[in-house]
Amino acid sequence: MSSFTEVIAVVLAAGMGTRMKTDLPKVLCPVLGRPMIHFVIDALEQAGVTRVIAVVGYKADDVKAALSSRPMVDFVLQTERLGTGHAVKMARELLEGHVGPVVVVAGDSPLLQASSVKQLLEAYRREQPACILGTLTKENPTGLGRIVRDSAGEFLGIVEEKDATPEQREICEVNMSTYVFDGPQLLHALDKLQNNNKQKEYYLTDCPAILKREDKAVKALPILKPCEALSINTPDELSAAEVAMRELGYPC
Ligand code: UD1
Ligand code: CA
Alpha carbons 47 and 36: distance in angstroms, whole number? 18
Confidence at residue 252, expressed as pLDDT on a 0 to 100 scale: 58
Among the atoms of ligand 1, which is closest to the Cα of residue 15?
Answer: 26
Q: Using CA positions, which residue lies closest to atom 39 of ligand 1?
A: 144
Alpha carbons 166 and 163: distance in angstroms, whole number? 10
Among the atoms of ligand 1, which is closest to the Cα of residue 174?
Answer: 12
Confidence at residue 226, expressed as pLDDT on a 0 to 100 scale: 97
Q: Judging by beta carbons within 10 Å of its beta carbon (0-12, 13-18, 19+), is residue 1 exposed, middle or buried?
A: exposed
Alpha carbons 154 and 212: distance in angstroms, whole number? 10
Residue 243 CA to chain centroid, in angstroms?
22
Alpha carbons 72 and 244: distance in angstroms, whole number? 28
Q: Using CA positions, which residue lies closest to atom 8 of ligand 1?
A: 203
Q: Using CA positions, which residue lies closest to atom 17 of ligand 1?
A: 14
Q: Which ligand is nearest to the CA of 134?
A: 1
Residues 40-64 as b/e (b if ≥16 CB within 10 A, e otherwise) read: bbbbbbebbbebbbbbbbbbbebbe
Confidence at residue 5, expressed as pLDDT on a 0 to 100 scale: 74
C-alpha 108 – ligand 2 centre gap (Å): 6
Residues of the chain with pLDDT under 50: 1-2
Cβ–Cβ < 8 Å for 211, 131: yes
User: Is 19 one of the annotated active-site residues of the chain?
Assistant: yes
Confidence at residue 1, expressed as pLDDT on a 0 to 100 scale: 42
The binding-site residues of ligand 1, defined as CB within 6 angstroms of any ligand atom, are: 12-15, 55, 78, 81-84, 86-87, 106-108, 144-145, 158, 160, 174-177, 203-205, 231, 233
Confidence at residue 251, expressed as pLDDT on a 0 to 100 scale: 78
Confidence at residue 79, expressed as pLDDT on a 0 to 100 scale: 97
Residue 118 CA to chain centroid, in angstroms?
14
Residues 124-137 as b/e (b if ≥16 CB within 10 A, e otherwise) read: beeeebbbbbbbbe
Cβ–Cβ < 8 Å for 87, 108: no
Which domains occur in the chain, in start order?
A: 8-247 (3.90.550.10)
Q: Using CA positions, which residue lies closest to atom 24 of ligand 1?
A: 12
Q: Using CA positions, which residue lies closest to atom 11 of ligand 1?
A: 145
Alpha carbons 18 and 38: distance in angstroms, whole number? 20
C-alpha 145 – ligand 1 centre gap (Å): 10
Alpha carbons 52 and 103: distance in angstroms, whole number? 9
Among the atoms of ligand 1, which is closest to the Cα of residue 56?
Answer: 22
Q: Residue 193 is which amino acid?
A: L
C-alpha 109 – ligand 2 centre gap (Å): 8
pTM assigned to the model: 0.97
Cβ–Cβ < 8 Å for 220, 147: yes
CA angle 190, 196, 199 (to 5 degrees): 100
pLDDT tens, residue by residue, 90-115? 999 999 999 999 999 999 999 999 99
Alpha carbons 232 and 242: distance in angstroms, whole number? 10
